[in-house]
Structure formats: C-alpha cells, structure tokens
Structure 1
Amino acid sequence: MPELLLGVDVGTSSAKAVVVNSSGRVLGEGQATYGLATPRPNWAEQEAEAWWNGLVGAVRKALEASRVRREEVATLAVSALYGGSGVPVDQNLRPLAPALIWMDRRAEEESAWVLEKVGLERLFAVTGNGADPYYGFTKLLWIRRHWPEVWAKARYFLPPGSFLVHRLTGEVAVDHVTAGNLGGIYDLGRRAWSESLAEVLGIPLERLPQRLIAPTEPAGRLGEEAAQTLGLSPGIPVFSAGIDAAVATLSAGAVGPGLHVAMLGTSMCWGFVSSELPKTPALVSMPYVLEPERLVYTFGGAATAGAAVAWFRSLLGEGTDLATLEEEAAGVPPESAGLVFLPYLMGERSPIWDPRARGVFAGLSLAHTRGHLYRAVLEGLAYALQHNLEAARQAGYRVEGE
C-alpha cells in the first residue's frame, strides 16, 4: 500500500491542502477561504476557528479530489501564517479573543517602550531581530496593557500552527521556526526561550508552549475526533512544519546556505538560507525548517503584496478580472510613464519598519490609464523586493545568482 502525504498550509486568506505520493506527484488539492477583521486602521485580527474550519474544508476537498482511501494517508503536516500574538486560550484551551496577526500594527507604543527598556543592541544580540509592531512579543505587550481581562484569563497564547496541532493531536507544542518569528523572547543562538528577556519584558514564559520542536519532529498523533472530522485514520503522525514563508522557501528547493526564494501571497516574503547568525535587524530571522538547529531563515518583504492587488481590483467594481488588468498593464512601458506606487497600505515591514507609512500614487496625470495604475502597483511590489535585496547586500549577505 503506498504511503501518501497530506500537506496543509493555513494562510492569511485561505487554507490549502494537497495529497501527494512519495515521489511528489499531486493526487488531489483543496482550498477553503476565510477573512480577517480590520476594525480600525492598522488593526488586523483573525478568529482561531477560521483557521480550523479552513483546514477542515481544505482537507476534505483534497481527499475528495484525490479519491484515495483514508488508510492510504500516512502523515499530516501543517504550516501556517505568522499569527502575531497567537490566539489567547483559557484553561480548557478555548479561544478568549482573536489573534492579532502579523499584519496588525497597533503595538507602536509597546515597540518604542521595548527599545527604551531593552535597547536594540541587546535585543538583536539575543534574538537576531529588532522591535516593531510586526513581532508577536510586542502584540503580547499590547494585549497585557489594553485587554487586561484577556491577559488574566489566558493560559496560553498559541500561534496558529500550535492551535491547530492541539486541535489535531491534543498536544501543546511550538516549532522553532514559529517561536523564532515571535522575536523578543526567543534566543536564536541557543534555540530556546530567553528567560532573561522575558523577565525584563514581563512576559511569563509559561503562557507559551514549553515544548519546542523541530519541524521534522512529530508534534503528536492524530486524535480520534479530529480524524473523524477530517476523514483520516487516527494515530498518524502530525507535524508542525513552521511559518508558511519558510516552508515555501524549502518547497521551492532552498536546501542550503545562499539559496533564496520570493513568495507572494497576501504579503511578499523574500527569504534566504544562511548558516550564520543574523547580521542586521533590518530583516527578520528565525531557525529554518530544514536543520533548524544549524540553519537560519532570514527574510524581508512588503506587508501588502497580493493584498495590494486585491485592493486595487476592488476599487474597480465587479466584473474586472485580473486577466484584463494584466493585459492592460503589459501594454504599458516599464516605469509606467513616470507613475510610482508605494505599497504601504498597512504600514511597512522591512527594511523601513514604519507602521505609519502609507500607500502613495506619485506622478499621476491625465495621460495615465487604468493600465498605468495597475502596472505601477506591480512595479511597486517589485521595488519593495529590490529594497530588501539591497538591505541584505548592505549587511554583507551574498545570495546565489548575484
């Protein structure tokens, strides 16, 4: 009997599932979409149940499309979006409030406080990262200050992958990739939680999963209830594969130092693999999916990439398809006749780290058409990618293909 693999990516806007055989041949795929809430400018929240329902829907569709028997699926691996604060859960691990996901930029004051209290030099030396509302630890500080009732009741703050692993297996664990991306309280050199920084910041480490695992280590085995819900056999190993961008980098073939990949989804992540500790806090660093004890994944990217495209399309009303926009943009010369778009629709991450940055169309004239505007949006995302490449070069990194 062939052993089939089931992979699931629970992203910002949808969950995708795929059934493959041991040779990598795709037998079936499925997708389930969901939304996020933006109750105020720069806020972005997501309910944990949306992740679970998305996973269930995508898995069922993939299994139906593959026409395989449940007994043939031998392994389940889950990657997930960067969930920022993670979802606060009570003693019974039931959600208390939504997660403040990676896109959320509300923790400005908390980030400034961290830089004053800890200092960038010490923070970078321990974590390999800086302080910005992007990082989950600053969002935890925001929750402590602004949602004291949630903070008091929270047993854990579970990243999306950890929440899903618990729902699937009953285990409480977090992979090193996800833990490293929290920043602030993860010691990248030691591959462990930083007791010293957690104490200074006032973040009790017992509120986070204490079991830190490699993505290649089973997080647990699929429970009876989850197996029945998904249509799988109970007892198969479940893996917490890590942050979606890092997993995408591995799936594209980046298996060693110097290799790099750009992933475009709701946001844009350009990342590369290194065997060295980080050289700059202008980029984001964490253990890699492959050999996490030795390799580091460093990335930079725009906060809104696919989100910028979706936003522009939404302005045009129903009936405007991407194929038409692509055709119109292709008919416009490079540089869009002097029109420039800055894709800072939710502030910006690396390398400028400015939660108050805003999107701009600069150079508009009566001569510009819809095609010019759409091409400028696409070029703006390309410029954002180039900006991060330049930041890496300035820090002394060399990547393959330069």
Structure 2
Amino acid sequence: FDLKKRTWSEEMCEILGIPRSMLPQRIVKSADIVGKITKEVSKLCGLLEGTPVVAGGIDAPLASLSAGVLEERSHVAMVGTSICWGVVHKGQHLSPKLVSFPYVAYDDQMIYTFGGAATAGGIVRWFRDQFGDKEKEVERKSNISAYKLLDEQAVEISPGAEGLLLLPYFMGERSPIWDPDAKGTIIGLTLYHTRKHVYRAILEGVAYSLRHNIEAGLESGLELAEECIMVGGATRSQLWMKIFSDVTGYPIKTLVQNVEAPYGDALLAGVGTGVLGSYESIKDWVRFDKTIYPDQKAKKIYDQYFIEYKKAYESLKDTMKRLGKIK
C-alpha cells in the first residue's frame, strides 16, 4: 500500500510478484459502511436485516482508538500474548524498522506506525505452565491468580533481577530486529538465582523489547507524548506496569475499561453509522484508571541493562541462527 498515493503500490506488486488484480479493487476507510446485513445472514447471526456493516480495522490501531487516541504523538502499547506499540502522526517520519499504514481514524490525515514483539505475555504463560505448578494449585484451591502469586515473589527482587538479563525472543522477533532465527536467552545465571529471579527477568526482558521499539521510533524522528497508554492483559499486573514505566522512563496510563480492539471497533461503528457524532466524541466513552510513574533510581539501573540487552543480541545472533540449523 502506497501511503502517499493511498492506493496499491504498482512498484511493490512487481517486486513481490503479486498481480494487481489479486488485491481488492475497492479501498475503504475504517469507518465506512461497506454493506448491510442480508436476510440470509440475519438468520445466521441474529442481527436485524439491513443493519449497517462498518469496515473496521485490525487489532493494534483499534486498541489505540479504544483509548481515545486521535492526536499526533499519542502512543499506546497493547501488551497481551505479544506486544504492539504504536504512535499516531501525520507521516513526516517513517522508519524502515517499523510498520506504517493509515490510522483507523482520520484515515486521510493520520498515519499509524507500530512495532511489535512476538512474545510478551506468552513467555509469562510459558513460565507459569512449566514452572508454576505450586501457584496453579493454589489458584485452583483459592481462586487467587497464579500470576499474582508469581508477582508477589518477583517484587522481592530488585531491578535488574540481581544480574539476570533475558532476551525475550521465544518465537523469533519482529521489530526492530526482524529476525525469525532469534532465540530466547537468559544471561547471568548462577547457583544463587531462584525462580523468582528468572520470573522478574522475564518481565524486565519484555519491557526492554518495548523500549527497543520506542527507541526505533524516536531515532526515525517521531515525536512522542510524555505518557504511554497501556492496554491488554498485562495491565492486571501492577509489578509489570511499574517495570514498564521504570524501563522506558514513560509514565504508564491504564484504562478503567480494558476491552481493547473490540471496543475500538464498536466506537468506529458508532462513528460510521452516525450514532456517535464524530471521532472526537469517542473521547466521551474513554475512562482512564491511573498513571504509574517511573522511579529514576530504577531507571538508571535499567539504562545500563538495556545497553547490554542490545549488545547481547548482536553478539549472539549468529549463534542463534546456527543453533536452528543443527540437525
């Protein structure tokens, strides 16, 4: 898609070997009404015949819209199984390390640029499933989340996990390194370290991946708001929110209603059908919960770890690639 011409790129179609005829002939905006519920479909889904169908969008920018993001510089991190971090702007600065396309609101004016980590909450779940039998048993008996129990242990460990550094590339990695051969790595293990050290290192490693994407955006010239909004399942962990804030240096804002992309789609439907008067009226439907501020002492520690985080990947990426080829 050519961001300047707002249509399919003939040049890229030729380079990629994709016939132009294979791409949709009709390009619409996210809030456009693209049809109506037919009689047949009405019987299948229960929606009234004639109900307008709005185009909608994909998850990450819709999660941003669910947070009321309409202005330039606003940036949102959607942290669930993976991470999608994105910023809205007018297209002055585009980075080849990140992905850009028209935003789901003000499609003709605004660009959404995002970076993504392939694994975030997915690593946390992996740790719980592989090493958290005790916590899962307590959860079954008391209904206290195993994740909460693991957090309560990890909070006892100081920033930096006492010398542990985790590269969270458990399924390769997307931006900004774009390396399918990248592997999850734990550096610094000693006999002194315990499960809670490793768990905290996981939370911190994922936060470094978010900072890495933010850094790529800043290096391209993008300007960011002073606060980062965060949505997704990770927001249920106060410890993780604090780590994200301390690692990135940004205050983290969370929402009262953490329903992400489906809510953004509903708001788009409201705009497209006229139920909501304008994009700006979306803000009336958004409620923020609280803001978590970075601790500067912890930030200085994490700054040093982040330097080593980037160096570690550069030093190990060839080894990672070779490991994947051993039969």
Q: TM-score band, normalised by the shorter chain?
A: 0.5 to 0.7
For 2:161, the aligned partner's letter is S
Which residue is equivalent to 2:72? 257
Indicate yes or no: 2:218 matched with 1:399: no
Is 1:368 aligned with 2:193? Answer: yes
User: Is the Cα–Cα contact under 8 Å of residues 118 and 174 in structure 2 kept in the other structure?
Assistant: yes
SS of the residue corresponding to residue 117 of structure 2 reads coil
Matches within 5 A, 1:146-295: 186-295=1-110
Question: How far apart are the structure 1 equivalents of 2:190 and 2:40?
Answer: 60
Q: Aligned partners of 1:277, 1:398: CA distance in 2, in Å?
A: 10
- Bigger share in strand: 1
Q: Is the alpha carbon distance of 1:306 and 1:219 closer, same or farther for their aligned partners in structure 2, counting shifts above 3 Å?
A: farther
RMSD of equivalent CA atoms: 1.6
CA contact (8 A) 2:94 2:100 kept: no
In the alignment, which residue of structure 1 is the partner of 2:183?
358
Q: Distance in 2 between matches of 1:272 and 1:373?
A: 31
Amino acid at match of 2:207: A
| 1:329, distance to aligned residue in structure 2 (A) | 1.3
Give the counterpart letter for 1:284 in structure 2: V
User: Would you say 1:297 and 2:122 are equivalent positions?
Assistant: no
- The 1-side partners of 2:31 and 2:80 are apart by 25
Shift of 1:242: 0.9
The answer (yes or no) to whether the contact 1:195–1:205 under 8 Å persists in 2 is yes
**Structure 1 residue 277: deviation in Å?**
4.2
- 1:133-180 alpha-carbon deviations (Å, 9 max, x no partner): xxxxxxxxxxxxxxxxxxxxxxxxxxxxxxxxxxxxxxxxxxxxxxxx
TM-score by length of 1: 0.52
Distance in 1 of aligned mates of 2:207 and 2:174 = 15
Distance 1:334 1:227 in 2: 55
Q: Which amino acid is 1:283 matched to?
A: L
Asked if the contact 1:278–1:285 (Cα under 8 Å) also holds between the matched residues in 2, the reply is no
Higher helix share goes to which structure?
Answer: 2
Q: Superposed, which structure 2 residues align to 1:5-44 within 5 Å?
A: none
Deviations 1:273-329 (A, max 9, x none): 001244320111110000111110001121111212222222126552212111111
| Residues 372, 226 of structure 1: alpha-carbon distance in 2 compared, 3 angstrom cutoff | farther
For 2:151 and 2:5, the matched residues in 1 are separated by 47
Runs of at least 5 residues in structure 2 that lack an aligned partner in the other structure: 137-145, 227-249, 251-327
Residue type at the aligned position of 1:375:
R
Q: Structure with the greater relative contact order (CA < 8 A, sep ≥ 6): 1 or 2?
A: 2
Count of matched residue positions in the alignment of Structure 1 and Structure 2: 217
Whether the 8 Å CA contact 1:285–1:296 is kept in 2: the answer is yes
**Where does residue 215 of structure 2 map in the other structure?**
390
Is the Cα contact below 8 Å between 2:93 and 2:222 reproduced in 1?
no
What SS does structure 2 have at the residue aligned with 1:334?
coil
Q: Distance in 2 between matches of 1:341 and 1:350?
A: 17
Unaligned residue ranges in structure 1 (runs of 5+): 1-185
Question: Shift of residue 205 of structure 1?
Answer: 2.2
Aligned pairs for 1:115-126 within 5 A: none
Report the alpha carbon displacement of residue 224 of structure 1 after superposing the two structures with TM: 2.7
Distance in 2 (CA, whole Å) between partners of 1:266 and 1:290 is 25
Aligned-pair identity in percent equals: 49
